[in-house]
Amino acid sequence: MSVDRIPPKPREGLLFDQSVPGKRGSEVPAADIPDAPPLDRRFTRREIDGFPELSEREVARHFTRISRLNYGNDQGFYPLGSCTMKYNPKVNEKVARLDGFAEIHPLLPTEAVQGSLQVMAELERFLCEIAGMDAFTLQPAAGAQGELTGIRMVRAHHESRGHPRQVVLIPDSAHGTNPASAHLCGYRVEEIASDARGCVDLAALRARMSDDVAVLMLTNPNTLGVFETDIGEICRVLHEGGGLVYLDGANLNAFVGVARPGDMGADVMHVNLHKTFSTPHGGGGPGSGPVGVKEPLTRFLPMPRVVRADKGYRLSSEFPDSIGKVHSFHGNFGMLIRAYAYILANGAAGLREIAETAVLNANYIRKRLEGTYHLPYASPTLHEVIFSDRNLEKYGVRTLDVAKRLMDYGFHPPTIYFPLVVKGALMIEPTESEGIEEMDAFIDAMIRIAREAEEDPEVLHAAPHTTPVGRLDEAAAARRPVLRWTPELSPKPGP
Amino acid sequence: MRYIPSCPEERRRLLRAVGLERSEQLFDSIPAEFRLKRPLNLPDPMAEADLVAHLRDLSRKNLDPHGSAVFLGAGAYRHFIPAVVDHLISRSEFYSSYTPYQPEFSQGTLQAIFEFQTMICQLTSMDVSNASLYDGASALGEGILLACRARRRKKIVAADSIHPEYLKVASTLTSHLGIRIETVPSDAGGAADSGRIARSLDAETAALVIQQPNFLGRLEEVEAMAEAAHRAGALLIVVINEAVSLGLLKGPGSQGADVVLGEAQSFGVPLSYGGPYLGFMAVNSACLRELPGRLVGQARDSMGRTGYVLTLATREQHIRREKATSNICTNEGLCMLAASIFLATLGKQGMRELAEQNRNRAEYARSKLERIPGCRIPLAGPTFNEFVLELPAAAKPVHQTLLREGIVAGLPLSDYFPDRKKDLLLAFTEVNGRSEIDRLTRSLEAAL
């Protein structure tokens, strides 16, 4: 590939470099009242030093240009494992922006927000049915906040029985938020090893279970894309020892409509509306992480809760055992409407079709790439498949090189180096949103990259070649962090 | 299903390719006892047109936002959002992308965060800002955890004029960790009571927390609070609810604050019944290593080109697991982007004028409302765009009477403080023109 002949793409400077004193992009509404006497100078600032001054036209062009330095799910395949980068239906964006939702203040009296409360009540019922749980809170703003909420309820449950217990057990394949959330709830984290199948080692769990264990946090299917087939027995072990099972529902897309965590014995779980239920990832949020519980834990749910009233719905805070609040007001309501619309669009049949297609797609990719790439776990694949870079080691090519090279072929890389139990992991989750052609193009690129590793490893080491910037020196960036613009950063004016 | 690109025939092809006959076999690894034997009990699938009609109907069960005059703030503010904001955040390069873990494919998001961090630093007069947090309330919880780590102390002194929901959330996030939040009653004017606060601050105190403007709308003397906190070896945390105030008020960093955090929903994020909003946190450089959440820094590639990367990730959960500064994984990316576009569009002059107009409208309303017989302003002293009005009678029934006329007369404070039965907390922004304010005055006078 003659990469040298491709000229460097023009870069878009910072807002601050384009700023010119006196420009403006907006006017305030006409003044229809007299100016008030000025506020005492000890409260007021002079001006906001360095703040941008641009016309609307320049702002629109700036953000359009930098948007084109991004790669989104609508541009192409985005097989980021454990993130479920499915299509974000456009109608969800439309309904969330209806004035009757978007312009509604969270502290309006309940008679003025019956539409919003109905959305929340029905979404809670849908999630209960989908997950097999008895009640949900919609307050947590993300999966990690859901985990924290869930583990706080676990703690409240144990405290109500005399002692919070000390330990949270977490498999070594778990996402990093699990241990961080458990730690923030005041628990000590202990890892449970995976066995040769990539599942929880049941014997190790049995040996470890005792009355200091508050809860096991289990992702199912786990981060290897493998169903924890011993889930029934795992729950029994925990329950017999007086512990609970927290199910991380990050991977619910694998069996939505096919199986329900509540039926498997989970006591608490969170779902990520920004994964299974299609709300956009937004370049890193906002998300939404509702938490479901079984009946014995419902009294600990955050407040307020939406309850039925004589006419319609009301908000109730009459739950003395509640853990309190985890988010101001009612959580990320704008995400709730999108998920609600998504469930309604799909219905039961559509949700099942999602799981079937997502799992089928992952198995297809596995089938076609197995052998070219090393498959560390042979267990059946559900929604995602994990390869490693072992077959490329002999050429001095690593997972990072494969990921960066994929960009040159126009694909977003898979999740890399996670889960930690696989050395050099490449975690591929196609979701149901890809057809055969897009998957085949991706698979062909992966195969071609494996061949390049053998024939021309340098092109991989230096990849990507076609992106707005090449590999950035992250170590140097962390050593001497530049975390904001200052006038010294601006390019010097020319002669 | 219309969102799935492969048709049944293609899926049969894929099934054959993986050596299966029926799609149920895909789930053979799930024990039969856990496989659903029935379809989920959900409504039938809806066509897009039906879905839009259904949600439109539901939205009409809410208050008609255009047929009403709303004077409600209390932590969520109705501001005009220039059209350019929604147009730009609707570009799918932004909204359908993930967290920028692959910087070469995410320079748009990363540059926008770098610009956001800069503008938050400029507004708050602080050294470092993160890439945003969930909301103002959880930002306070995170700020308290930061202060306890940084000072290795476990007591927090907080003025009782901080948003009550923020204190509730902070308590949920910290109470089981042995952290004690001591709230100090405000003075007769509704501002933080410097005498009482000085007596509460001691060698155990990690931070003093105040809000500017505070929950009752009063402006606080930040410099004096910073001195008091620092004398006790504690940090000063300043909470912001109404971020538009920063266009007019001093950046708390210039007054000695160590941490400035709160809610930036006012910057181009719709009310949306309480979320998603935009928590933010800015600190002085001494607290950098304790800062939770994502951070973007400038970097260079091998050809010397400038780019942006997530940096200092060794504070974060995906590297540090249980030793991380926080469990936070996402930020509020798209709300952060909306705020960046909003701030860039308003610019230096626009921010100042917006803040001044908000205050002017509140001052005008105040002058009208306090002339209604029996009404008074119970808390003397300077405010920004929100203040407490005391009625001669219980506020809640009056509030309901006005609601029937399409006027939302702020927040009856008894919702949060049972002893403030006669008080309304009223907010005024650039969307509340003179005629709306005059209508409020007339209707209130008639209802009393």
Q: What is the CATH number of the domain that holds B231?
A: 3.40.640.10
The domain of A202 spans 91-345
Residue B243 falls inside a structural domain: yes
* Phi, psi dihedrals of residue A245, rounded to the nearest 5°: -120, 125
Residue B408 falls inside a structural domain: yes
Residue B184 Cα to chain centre, angstroms: 24
**Inter-chain touch A483–B295, beta carbons under 8 Å:** yes
**CA B144 → CA A321, B112, B147, distances in Å?**
24, 27, 5
Largest CA distance in chain A: 79
Residue A49 falls inside a structural domain: no
**A213 shares its domain with A140:** yes
**A106 shares its domain with A241:** yes
Residue A495 falls inside a structural domain: no
Measured between CA atoms, the residue of chain B closest to residue A168 is: B322
What pLDDT, on a 0 to 100 scale, did the predictor assign at position A6? 56
**B432 shares its domain with B352:** yes
Q: What DSSP string describes B435-446?
A: HHHHHHHHHHHH
CB < 8 Å to B99, chain A: 281, 283-285
- What's the whole-number mean pLDDT along residues A177-187? 93
Q: How far apart are CA A130 and CA A271, in angstroms?
A: 10
**Inter-chain touch A264–B55, beta carbons under 8 Å:** no
Has residue B49 got a pLDDT over 80? yes
**B129 shares its domain with B275:** yes
Task: Write out residues 351-390 of B within 8 Å (CB-CB) of A.
Answer: 351-354, 356-357, 359-361, 363-364, 382
Tokens of B383: 């405010």
**A293 shares its domain with A414:** no
Measured between CA atoms, the residue of chain A closest to residue B117 is: A484
- What's the whole-number mean pLDDT along residues A223-236? 96
Indicate the number of domains in chain A: 2
Q: How far apart are CA A278 and CA A338, in angstroms?
A: 8
**A297 shares its domain with A381:** no
Has residue A1 got a pLDDT over 90? no
**A156 shares its domain with A303:** yes
**A251 shares its domain with A370:** no
Tokens of A189: 């984290």
* Phi, psi dihedrals of residue B309, rounded to the nearest 5°: -140, 155
Residue A298 falls inside a structural domain: yes
Residue A76 falls inside a structural domain: no
What are the tens digits of pLDDT across the range A269-309? Answer: 999 999 999 999 999 999 999 999 999 999 999 999 999 99
Measured between CA atoms, the residue of chain B closest to residue A159 is: B176
**Inter-chain touch A472–B104, beta carbons under 8 Å:** yes
**B152 shares its domain with B293:** yes
The ipTM is 0.97
Rounded mean pLDDT of chain A? Answer: 95
**A195 shares its domain with A101:** yes
**B279 shares its domain with B299:** yes
What pLDDT, on a 0 to 100 scale, did the predictor assign at position A118? 98
Residue A418 falls inside a structural domain: yes
Task: Give bridge partners of residue A113 from the DSSP assignment.
Answer: B62
**B236 shares its domain with B368:** no
**B263 shares its domain with B409:** no
Tokens of B445: 């006078």
A225 min Cα distance to partner chain B (Å): 11
Helix axes A436-455, A333-369, angle to 10 degrees: 60
Q: Taking the CA atoms of chain B, what radius of gyration do you get in angstroms?
A: 25
Residue B334 falls inside a structural domain: yes
- What's the whole-number mean pLDDT along residues B43-59? 98
Mutate which: A35, A55, A105, A217, vs B, most B CBs within 10 A: A105
Given a contact cutoff of 8 angstroms between Cβ atoms, the answer to whether A430 and A79 are in contact is yes
Residue B355 falls inside a structural domain: yes
**A161 shares its domain with A219:** yes
Residue A52 falls inside a structural domain: no
**A384 shares its domain with A273:** no
Residue B116 falls inside a structural domain: yes
The last residue of one of the domains, among B341, B370, B391, is B341
> CATH number of the domain that A377 lies in?
3.90.1150.10
What pLDDT, on a 0 to 100 scale, did the predictor assign at position A11? 75
**B241 shares its domain with B292:** yes
**A265 shares its domain with A338:** yes
**A301 shares its domain with A361:** no
For residue A349, give the H/E element and its range.
helix A333-369
**Burial (CB count <10 Å: 0-12, 13-18, 19+), residue B224:** middle
**A406 shares its domain with A275:** no
Residue A295 falls inside a structural domain: yes
Has residue A225 got a pLDDT over 70? yes
Strand pairing report for B205-211 and B180-184: unpaired
**B312 shares its domain with B264:** yes
The domain of B303 spans 84-341
**B412 shares its domain with B327:** no
**Inter-chain touch B322–A152, beta carbons under 8 Å:** no
What are the tens digits of pLDDT across the range A8-47? Answer: 555 799 999 999 999 999 999 998 999 999 999 999 999 9
Please indicate if any CB of chain A lies within 8 Å of the CB of B21. no
Please indicate if any CB of chain A lies within 8 Å of the CB of B88. yes
> CATH number of the domain that B434 lies in?
3.90.1150.10
Global pTM reads: 0.97
